[in-house]
Structure 1
Amino acid sequence: MGSVKWKRGRPVGLRTGLRFVACWGLFLFGLRAAAWGQAVVSDVIAAEGFQPIRVAVPRAWTAQSDAELIEWAATLRKTLVDDLTFSRLFTLLPEAVYDGLPPYRGEAPDVGPWKAQQVQFLVLLKVGRDQQQIWAEARLWDVATNELRLGRRYTWNPKLVRQMAHHFADEILAALFGIRDRIFTSKIAFSSTRDGNPEIYVMDYDGENQTRITRNDYVDLFPDLRPRHHQLVFTSLRQGVSALVLFDLITGQLRTLVDRGGLTSTPQWSPDGQRIVFVGAMDGNAEIYVINADGTGLRRLTFSKAIESSPTWSPSGNQIAFTSDRSGRPQIYVMDADGGNVRQLTFFGEYNDRPAWSPDGARLAFVSRQGLIFDIYVLDLTTNEVIRLTENQGSNESPAWGPDGIHLVFASNRTGRFQVYTMDRWGRDVRQLTHVGENKTPSWRPFE
């Protein structure tokens, strides 16, 4: 692998001070494509000439004047503002500035005052009530051309008003940047003891709508949502035997895929959602296996006297990174998806584990232990630079990338008990998402 270049305690910052590129079509055409041919946020931000778009989101216009509808409209707007801010692709107009600008009244806007504020796009919201549902018309208005760029109408249960905002925020990223993997409607799956024994839960990317999925007396861990399907796979410890279980989020149906005795852990879906890689000890030693989504085609990939663990697919599906102690201490390795061409990636630390591939295929997050404490690092696979993201804040474990390639989710006991957090890939913008019980082994996926 060559020498490792360290960056400790001073993460690399975002590009700043670059000249705005006026022609967004040419800008998007020139983006570096992700490993599987579609843009992700990390690609957009890294592109030469990128500068965040200046966006304004005026207060929503409501068709009726009742207090409940006004509150829903405010929630819709705030969620949209939070989503766009989280993406780092936009600069939002400060709240104090809106008082001096014309309110949105549900018609085509007068763009003159917004141009004076150097606003490039307006997000316009019109909200009304239709019996037991609310409707929302959301528009993305191009200030420079004074034209509608994107328009959507949603009619949903009021309880789903945040989901309306998340959907439209995803549509904005697709319209302006060609980003198709949905970030704001993505979900984080995790294991929690809040109701007793460890069970599987799912929540929105921002920690809202935490929902219990499994209800049993077993120990359920390592959930992973299936790409482009409403299913998840997880490990279930049942009377001393661990099984690989598939759960359908629509029907509630459970199906055991592997239950052959010994260890079965850390399953992860392939990018196309057709295969699962996992650790199994059916033959005695902990090895890496793959199996098809329907439970057929079980195949062993590693044949080593060492202990193998924590497999993770590359975004292309052509490679698998994993942990092995075949060199004497647990280190990160990578192999082709058929088990061939094994090579070692890390050569430092006493115990490296839980690799996680970034969506653009350029980086691996992993944990490294010093004493009894794990911290999270990111290895740049092109430059061999290693950035330490956590330090002196308890033990930090189980990193997983968000669909944007900018943020990671992880578990940490920095407050005493393990909770789920997110942070950016430079170790900043840390947000605590869970607060009750012990919460571990998160994964983060688009959810369609």
Structure 2
Amino acid sequence: MLPALAQFRVEVSGVGLTQLPIALVAFRGQDAAPQKISDIVQADLERSGQFRGVDASGQALDDTSRPDWSLWRQRTADSLVGGSITRLADGRFDVKFRLWDVVKGQELGFQNYTVPQGDLRLVAHRIADFIYEKLTGEKGIFSTRIAYVTKGGSRYALWVADADGENAQAALASSEPIISPRWSADGQQLAYVSFESRKPVVYVHSVSSGQRRQVANFKGSNSAPAWAPDGGSLAVTLSRDGGSQLFTIPASGGEPRRLTQSASIDTEPVYSADGGTIYFVSDRGGAPQIYKMSSGGGSPSRVTFSGTYNISPAISGDGRWLAYISRVGGAFKLQVMELSSGNVASITDTTADESPSFAPNSKLIVYATHLQGREALMTTTLDGKIKARLAGQAGDIREPDWGPFRKQ
């Protein structure tokens, strides 16, 4: 195991149009605990773009309190969170919290967790998920994970981290490039491309055990893995028959089946959430554009028409949005298309964006870009109004992929 990255710093910028004002009072006992639970919860909620923190300084409140509604209404909080964290005799921690609706003057929920010290961050993310779902009606994504690659000197590493970039664990280290990590739909496996045998080979890696297997190591290039939603197969780009074409291959390995028959380069496949459609990049029209076709193959249709260079498609889980990278002048910029209308919005002011990936609730996108001369991970809301930088200290960060919802 490699040492974890230095602590990530989450910087949130921008203001959304409608943000829910929420007050999070410091949990009783958290100053003596290894993690500041209420701070983690507040950072999660603000990063989502849906919440605005209300000043809760100078107030004592926990899960046994009855709030002073008039005080919190004066502070313009619509909702309020108080809790406690207690170290037990066996070394575990007891974490409790309550969520209140200040406007109505009533409790919205109570939760209690008893966990080892190593799970305190996960508990904080689960609390944020609970609050997010109660107040927005949507599922929260704070306890999910992201995978990404770093390059430091001549060393490459594949990391699995919490959705806020903290708690990074190294899954693989290599002196040769690692690219294109992709989560399976059950969150148990990562597919990726490694050059450790001096050519691109597709591997599948068990996140819990660290065991891995080669899935595609054919003559030529093996690249761009994408999981079918049922986890039984992968779409890959192979050059075994000449030019780069799309194939499907069983996740356990085996003989690939060819999907595209063109004289052009077809690559970067991605499945729709229902598994019925594959989106991919092709230069069959003379320049890279995004196309779609039935996941069983067949005649593709073009999806992107604005701009002359569009790559790296990502599809939201709700099927409404396509994120991709477009070259505009000399800049590479993140674009979001509403698939039903074809309307496209450019949502960043950076110029070296890459590798967009949707959160599993379709509300945020993680991507890599350059800021102040360094590669960094960012999250953004779909309208580009709220961005958060997840800034690591150890090497350049690239190729993020957002994992699925975790089982409780």
Q: Structure 2 length as normaliser, TM-score? A: 0.86
Aligned to 2:92: 133
Is the 8 Å Cα contact of residues 60 and 73 (structure 1) preserved in structure 2?
no
2:46 aligned residue? 85
Alignment counterpart, residue 244 of structure 1, candidates 191, 199, 202: 202
Pick aligned residue for 1:56 from 19, 23, 30: 23
The alignment status of 1:427 with 2:389, answered yes or no, reads: no
The Cα shift of 1:211 comes to: 2.1
Question: How far did residue 179 of structure 1 move?
Answer: 3.1
Unaligned runs of 5+ in 1: 1-12, 17-51, 63-68
CA distance in 2, matches of 1:110, 1:331: 56
Cα distance in 1 for residues equivalent to 2:339 and 2:354: 21
**d(CA) in 2 for partners of 1:170 and 1:410?**
22
Alpha-carbon distance in structure 2 between the residues aligned to 1:383 and 1:116: 41
Mark the CA change 1:296 to 1:113 in structure 2 (over 3 Å): closer, same or farther. Answer: farther
Q: Is the 8 A contact 1:377 1:387 kept in 2?
A: yes
2:270 aligned partner, one-letter code: T
Inter-partner Cα distance in structure 1 for 2:305 and 2:63: 60
| RMSD of Structure 2 on Structure 1 (CA) | 2.7
Q: Does 1:315 find its partner at 2:273?
A: yes
Q: Secondary structure at the match of 1:171?
A: helix
Higher mean C-alpha deviation, range 305-314 or range 168-177: 168-177
User: In the alignment, which of 131, 151, 170 is matched to residue 172 of structure 1?
Assistant: 131
Match of residue 49 from structure 1: none
In structure 2, what is the equivalent of residue 396 of structure 1? Answer: 353
The worse-fitting range, judged by mean Cα deviation, of 203-212 and 324-333 is: 203-212
Check whether the contact 1:236–1:245 (CA below 8 A) recurs between aligned residues: yes
Instruction: Check the 8 A contact 2:37/2:120 in 1, yes or no.
Output: yes
Task: Give the distance between the partners of 1:206 and 1:402, measured in 2 at CA.
Answer: 12
| Structure 2 residue corresponding to 1:203, chosen from 161, 167, 176 | 161
* Cα distance, 1:348–1:92 mapped onto 2, change above 3 Å: closer
2:125 and 2:205 map into 1 onto residues whose CA distance is: 25
Aligned to 1:439: 397
Q: Which structure's residues are more often strand, by fraction?
A: 2
Q: Evaluate the alpha carbon distance shift between residue 208 and residue 215 of structure 1 in structure 2; reply closer, same or farther with a 3 A threshold.
A: same
Q: CA deviation at 1:148?
A: 4.3
Instruction: Tell me what 1:364 maps to.
Output: 322
Cα displacement string for residues 31-52 of structure 1 (whole angstroms, at most 9, x for unaligned residues): xxxxxxxxxxxxxxxxxxxxx5
Are 1:109 and 2:66 an aligned pair?
Answer: yes
CA distance in 2, matches of 1:214, 1:74: 27
Contact residue 242 and residue 261 of structure 1 kept, 8 A: no
Alpha-carbon spacing, 1:147–1:274, altered in 2? closer, same or farther (3 Å): farther
Greater fraction of residues in helix: 1
Q: State the 1:343 CA deviation.
A: 0.4
The alignment partner of 1:104 has SS state of coil
Deviations along 1:222-279, one digit per CA (max 9) or x if unpaired, are 1112222322111111333221111112111111111112212221223343432221
2:228 aligned residue: 270
Residue pair 1:73, 1:127 contacting (<8 A) in 2 also: no
Deviation for aligned residue 1:349 = 2.5
Q: What CA deviation, in whole Å up to 9, does each residue of 1:304-338 have, x standing for no partner?
A: 11101111122222211111011111111111111
Whole-angstrom CA distance in 2 between matches of 1:195 and 1:165: 34
Give 3-state SS (helix, strand or coil) of 1:83's partner. Answer: helix
Amino acid paired to 2:395: G
Offset of residue 188 of structure 1: 1.6
2:42 partner SS: helix
Q: TM-score, normalization: structure 1?
A: 0.79
The answer to whether residue 368 in structure 2 is matched with residue 411 in structure 1 is yes
Q: CA deviation at 1:106?
A: 4.2
Matches within 5 A, 1:11-26: 16=18
Q: Which residues of structure 2 form unaligned runs of 5+?
A: 1-14
CA spacing shift, 1:85–1:439, aligned 2, 3 Å:
closer
Q: 1:140 to 1:106 in 2, by over 3 A?
A: closer
For 1:378, which of 327, 333, 336 is the aligned residue? 336
CA contact (8 A) 1:222 1:266 kept: yes
Report how far residue 143 of structure 1 moved: 4.5
* Residues matched between the structures, number: 390
Of residues 190-199 and 111-120 in structure 1, the stretch that sits farther from structure 2 once superposed is: 111-120
The structural deviation recorded for 1:431 is: 1.4
CA contact (8 A) 1:376 1:389 kept: yes
In the alignment, residue 83 of structure 1 is paired with which amino acid?
A: D
Question: Secondary structure of 1:418's match?
Answer: strand
**For residues 177 and 360 of structure 1, what CA distance do their matches in structure 2 show?**
16
Q: Deviations over 1:41-98 (max 9, x none)?
A: xxxxxxxxxxx54432222123xxxxxx524387101111111222233343223xx4
Change (3 A) 1:322 1:72: same
**Aligned counterparts of 1:296 and 1:120: Cα–Cα separation in 2:** 56
**1:70 maps to which residue?**
31
Read off the aligned partner of 1:188 and give its amino acid letter. I
Q: How far off is 1:173 after superposition?
A: 3.0
Distance (whole Å) between structure 1 residues aligned to residue 178 and residue 47 of structure 2: 31
1:318 to 1:161, Cα distance in 2 relative to 1, 3 A = same
Return the match for 1:298 from 256, 260, 280.
256
Describe the SS at the equivalent of 1:241: coil
Kindly tell me: are residues 435 and 415 of structure 1, through their superposed partners in 2, closer, same or farther at Cα, counting changes over 3 Å? Answer: farther
Q: Distance in 2 between matches of 1:14 and 1:90?
A: 9
Alignment check: 8 A CA contact 1:111 1:146 kept: no
User: Structure 2 CA distance, aligned partners of 1:419 and 1:74?
Assistant: 25
Tell me, in whole angstroms, the C-alpha distance in 2 between the residues paired with 1:296 and 1:177.
45
SS at 1:214's partner residue?
strand
Question: Is 1:351 aligned to residue 312 of structure 2?
Answer: no
Q: What CA distance in whole angstroms lies between the structure 2 residues aligned with 1:437 and 1:124?
A: 38
